[in-house]
Structure 1
């Protein structure tokens, strides 16, 4: 049973590596390679990124709205197939229109995989009282980013940017084989009842809109760095065609980050770590606007990698605890508002950078938006204090 649980967990991690780490975020390090060969503007790059996030928004809404409780495994598998094929096809066409369509479909698929795999894994962890393991699961995005950052320079040198997309699709296909045989939704009605007894509302349901708005602002702000950090680094004299190293730093920091934030949430509750993570992230995002050097980009990448998936881990786990009876819908709604922010962010940043001829204003704006989101979360700390008292009284009564 223990071996089966480990394989199940690895299957969940691989699913995030495919759809998120590669299918969704590989665009960031491949973008400067495509721009170098094809010379399209930052505005066009922003539109391509926004197409992906528009698809992500639609996928999140559909995954949250359509009841898929009985069909989560098959829906996840179909979404993985779409993700792999859209990644491969990016390297087989030179049409901006088709690229936008492919990035849109990839976004739909990645949202489905994220929402469904999150629901399956968090439900499973809830039944065994190991919700803090969610950090390890969400580390799959960091593993995917790190893996792609290792592979992309090799593929680009051998096959140019076209072969890079195709090669990543092949790697994704190999990982998908293991997802297929290891990762299945085994939740049951009995387990659902247990879940509802396991969690109390911390903070209560009425606080969920605050979390939702703050998470939307996070989506709006973080995606500017998530889309353009390599392009920004590539244009500085500090890197000289080695800007993919910055993305590698993001992946390395992201791998353990979710686990670390989960451990902190065990000690502090969820709101305090969320506020801290968003504050640190805003500092990292703004840094290259004021200090341009290899050191500043590495620190920025590490702060970004250490927080962006940690924030997702904390927000989705907290959202699930607030409404445990319908985890996929709650996570879907949070992911949808996050995706709305992502949809707006790259377009605004792309247009702004084309107008100002740099990304400084976009970076400062993104950092400011995230700080505002962190401020909105502060009133949740009082609810967690009350909740701890309720937890203690429950434990004594048991």
Structure 2
């Protein structure tokens, strides 16, 4: 880290691009392509999405209970390889059952990569006093969404949806090579001691359940838009441009969001910023129902991209600061409750969409759930005033 801090950070960004931008979220823009060719119903699409999130839940739980402290890089590298294999295999089969299994496995390793890379990068940045760079690390999800979606229209035109998965697997191989060599775990015991000086005052650990409930509801609500927004654009008569533009907009919104939200948290308070960001996201989720137009879908995608990773960054960093000596475990538990909501959301939404033949009920329900989650955090605003919390993302 001392010699090549930028390369270390880029390695972490590339790991998130593989795990999240491709492994988890590439399914959203590829979904309507698969539905057109394989005649997926929205219910089946929801089950397939939920399979991935069930895997993400399992991976998050494992990351929280397994003794990973001494072998973080080993588990991370294995997970990156498995992520590539599952992405590649999605383009080599038409079996729905096999796809369910592949998406589940992809979810498991995505959680491992997210939890482990977050732990490695946040710990190392904290020990070296470079916490201001952490927001750039989490922008890897937005970069992954934006970068991978750029390939999808051309790959689909040339090789169909199968070629999209294979092409994205090849892109992931290149990213993984750099992440493999540039992302290293800190083993300097002196720097570990210094970390205690860098850590900042945070809410008491007993407040963690409120954060976990809110974060679980966030996972339940946000994922409805995260799964179906491209399909909504594809199946809406007034959306006359390429539906992949919607997902590119999500990526563009996500890239700077972590830095912006963490800066706002430094000035306004950590919990207060979480409440505001979740409220804004709820408005964005409901926007296509309130205002039916091409503009509203683009704006909804922008608000979604601008909030979902910012919320994750703030919640994850706050949880880590509340338990700095065991960051991978507490991040794993927080990610598990988030993944539980994600697993349930697409299934409920898919059934609602198929039953009502409309996306409106699913979107209103999702927006309401996120708003309720924000309400659970309101009681924690007093800690912003009491402790003058500063996010670990901004030194």
TM-score for the superposition, normalised by structure 2: 0.96
In the TM superposition, 1:41-190 aligns within 5 A as 41-190=41-190
What's the CA shift for 1:201?
4.2
Quote the Cα distance in structure 2 between the aligned partners of 1:326 and 1:97.
37
What per-residue deviation string (whole Å, max 9, x for no partner) do you get for residues 145-180 of structure 1?
A: 001111000100000000000000000001101011
Structure-2 separation of matches of 1:239 and 1:171: 29
In the alignment, which residue of structure 2 is the partner of 1:12?
12
What's 2:340 paired with?
340
Name the SS of the counterpart of 1:69 in structure 2: coil
**What pairs up with 1:176-325 in 2 under 5 angstroms?**
176-240=176-240, 242-325=242-325
Match of 2:23 in 1: 23
Q: Deviations over 1:276-334 (max 9, x none)?
A: 11011000000111222110001100000000000000000000011101000110000
Aligned counterparts of 1:173 and 1:160: Cα–Cα separation in 2: 20
| Farther-moved stretch of structure 1 (232-241 vs 217-226) | 232-241
Secondary structure of 1:14's match?
helix
TM-score between the two structures when normalised by the length of structure 1: 0.96
Matches of 1:370 and 1:191, distance apart in 2: 39
Contact 2:280 2:303 in 1 (8 A): yes
Residue-by-residue CA offset, 1:25-47 (whole Å, 9 max, x unaligned): 00000000000011110000000
2:70 match: secondary structure: helix
The CA distance in 2 between the partners of 1:176 and 1:22, in whole Å, is 12
- In the other structure, the counterpart of 1:395 is none
Pairs aligned (count):
390
**Which residue is equivalent to 1:382?**
382
Deviates more, 1:124-133 or 1:280-289: 124-133
SS at match of 2:258: helix
C-alpha contact (below 8 Å) 1:133/1:262 kept by paired residues:
no
Whole-Å Cα distance in 1 between the matches of residues 310 and 276 of structure 2? 11
Computed over aligned residues only, the root mean square deviation of the Cα atoms, in angstroms, reads 1.4
Aligned ranges 1:358-369 → 2 under 5 Å: 358-369=358-369
Deviates more, 1:260-269 or 1:176-185: 260-269
Kept in 2, the 8 Å contact 1:63–1:329? The answer is yes
Poorly superposed stretches of 4+, deviation over 4 Å = none
Partners of 1:73 and 1:184 within 8 A in 2: yes
State whether residues 195 and 325 of structure 1, in contact with CA within 8 Å, keep that contact through their aligned partners in structure 2: no
* Contact 2:216–2:340 (8 Å) recurs in 1: yes
Structure 2: 5+ residue stretches without partners: 391-395
